[in-house]
């Protein structure tokens, strides 16, 4: 038996009707206290053998037999109508209750003018796919600092929808509710235009709108940047080896610069050892990412729970409501979660060209001195910004519109 997608229905495929019907199915299942685990829309297909066909007793014309036609003659392909496929916990549903529930569901969808859909039940237990856990932000001396940022728990993670991997965006701030972890992002990142601009609320047993860490381009960029960094360090090894050889010759030759040559030799040998260690760590990181993160399903970090329609305010403080809440897989964040912190040592470059999707790649590291300089708008107006000792800047509170305008007024004056 083959499972097929439920394509081509003239009514179900319009105006997100399945969302409405699936919610009604869930309500009816709850009403009969059925312990369900999933509600899917599917079709089935299988092959049946036809009744025996008389053989050619004389054996004539065997050399002209069309094999495909012969198979078709003996086999019949059966495809079912679209079916509402309800998963129930093992041993919890009787035939009588299943029949009554089916009558409920069929009567409900008849109200939408649908009479060609079947209802079927199966035993099913849902198990969450765990996948790899996110890393913690690393220290300044860690060799992975320049590449690891997209897979850490720090803010501004690159994301995409599991079914829309080419439409990439960024995960916003985190918050906690009833011991669960959530994050906020823009609705347009995870919803396509053809889905309409309707309020979305996740309902149990309806397929989840899953969120993936790194879309297709971002994941490719992570691998490329890691390989590029490794290649650069391999070049550095060659340069250091030549410098070590030159310093060794000067040291062995004696002379007035022997002491300086000895200092250079010690320095270059230390740098060479550190560079080789970095190469090994980058190679290990690259292999781990390829092995455990390559499949998009392995990078699922949560699913959408709520998203209001995109709307626009025309008042004096006009703004756009483009927001979406994602419930995070806590198991992937918990061990290395540091809250709403921004890693100041790394950044991501963003393509704003209309012809290309927004792309996030590991960017150049910004040292503490350079970052602090950027926080000073004018020499005569020093900032009170203090660079955090651990490089992680915690986010606290919300800046009101009045405060933003107040800061702008001060700059103008």
State the pLDDT at residue 347. Answer: 52
* Contact by Cβ (8 Å): 32, 119: no
pLDDT per residue as tens digits for the range 180-221: 999 999 999 999 888 888 899 998 777 889 999 999 999 999
pLDDT per residue as tens digits for the range 392-407: 888 877 777 777 767 5
Residues with Cβ within 8 Å of residue 366, at least 6 apart in sequence: 344, 345, 346, 347, 374
State the pLDDT at residue 316. Answer: 63
**Which of 148-152, 169-173, 349-353 shows the lowest mean pLDDT across its residues?**
349-353
Taking the CA atoms of residue 186, residue 219, residue 154 and residue 400 in that order, the dihedral angle to the nearest 10 degrees is -20
Fold classified for 2-123:
GMP Synthetase; Chain A, domain 3 (3.30.300)
Domain ranges (residues) in the chain: 2-123, 217-293
Average pLDDT over residues 134-148: 89
Average pLDDT over residues 150-175: 92
Q: Tell me the CB-side half-sphere exposure of residue 177, using CA atoms within 13 A.
A: 10
pLDDT at 248 over 70: yes
| Model confidence band, residue 387 (pLDDT cutoffs 50, 70, 90) | confident
Query: CA–CA separation, 231 vs 241, rounded Å?
Result: 16
Average pLDDT over residues 23-35: 92
Sign of the dihedral through C-alpha 336, 283, 144, 223: negative
* Contact by Cβ (8 Å): 395, 340: yes
| Model confidence band, residue 351 (pLDDT cutoffs 50, 70, 90) | very low
């Amino acid at each position: 038996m083959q499972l097929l997608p439920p394509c081509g229905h003239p009514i179900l495929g319009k105006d997100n009707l399945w969302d409405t019907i699936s919610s009604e199915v869930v309500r009816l299942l709850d009403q009969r206290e059925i312990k369900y685990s999933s509600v899917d829309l599917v079709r089935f297909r299988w092959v049946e053998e036809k009744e025996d066909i008389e053989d050619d007793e004389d054996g004539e014309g065997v050399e002209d037999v069309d094999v495909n036609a012969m198979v078709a003659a003996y086999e019949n392909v059966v495809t079912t109508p679209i079916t509402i496929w309800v998963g129930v916990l093992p041993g919890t549903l009787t035939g009588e209750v299943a029949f009554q529930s089916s009558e409920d569901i069929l009567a409900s969808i008849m109200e939408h003018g649908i009479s060609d859909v079947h209802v079927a039940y199966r035993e099913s237990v849902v198990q969450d796919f765990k996948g790899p856990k996110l890393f913690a932000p690393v220290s300044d001396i860690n060799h992975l600092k320049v590449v690891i940022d997209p897979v850490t728990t720090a803010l501004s993670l690159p994301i995409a929808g599991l079914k829309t991997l080419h439409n990439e965006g960024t995960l916003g701030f985190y918050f906690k509710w009833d011991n669960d972890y959530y994050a906020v992002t823009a609705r347009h990142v995870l919803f396509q235009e053809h889905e309409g601009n309707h309020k979305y609320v996740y309902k149990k047993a309806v397929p989840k709108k899953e969120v993936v860490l790194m879309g297709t381009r971002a994941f490719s960029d992570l691998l490329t940047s890691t390989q590029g960094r490794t290649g650069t360090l391999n070049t550095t090894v060659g340069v250091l080896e030549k410098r070590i050889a030159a310093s060794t010759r000067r040291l062995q030759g004696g002379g007035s610069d022997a002491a300086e040559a000895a200092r250079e030799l010690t320095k270059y040998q230390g740098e060479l050892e550190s560079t080789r260690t970095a190469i090994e760590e980058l190679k290990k990181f690259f292999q781990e990412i390829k092995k455990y993160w390559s499949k998009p399903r392995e990078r699922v970090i949560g699913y959408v729970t709520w998203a209001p329609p995109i709307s626009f305010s025309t008042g004096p403080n006009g703004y756009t409501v483009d927001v979406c809440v994602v419930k995070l897989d806590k198991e992937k964040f918990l061990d290395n979660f540091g809250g709403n912190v921004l890693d100041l040592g790394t950044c991501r470059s963003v393509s704003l060209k209309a012809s290309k999707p927004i792309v996030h790649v590991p960017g150049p590291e910004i040292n503490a001195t350079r970052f602090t300089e950027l926080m000073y708008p004018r020499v005569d107006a020093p900032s009170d910004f203090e660079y955090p000792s651990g490089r992680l800047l915690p986010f606290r509170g919300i800046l009101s519109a009045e405060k933003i305008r107040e800061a702008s007024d001060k700059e103008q004056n």
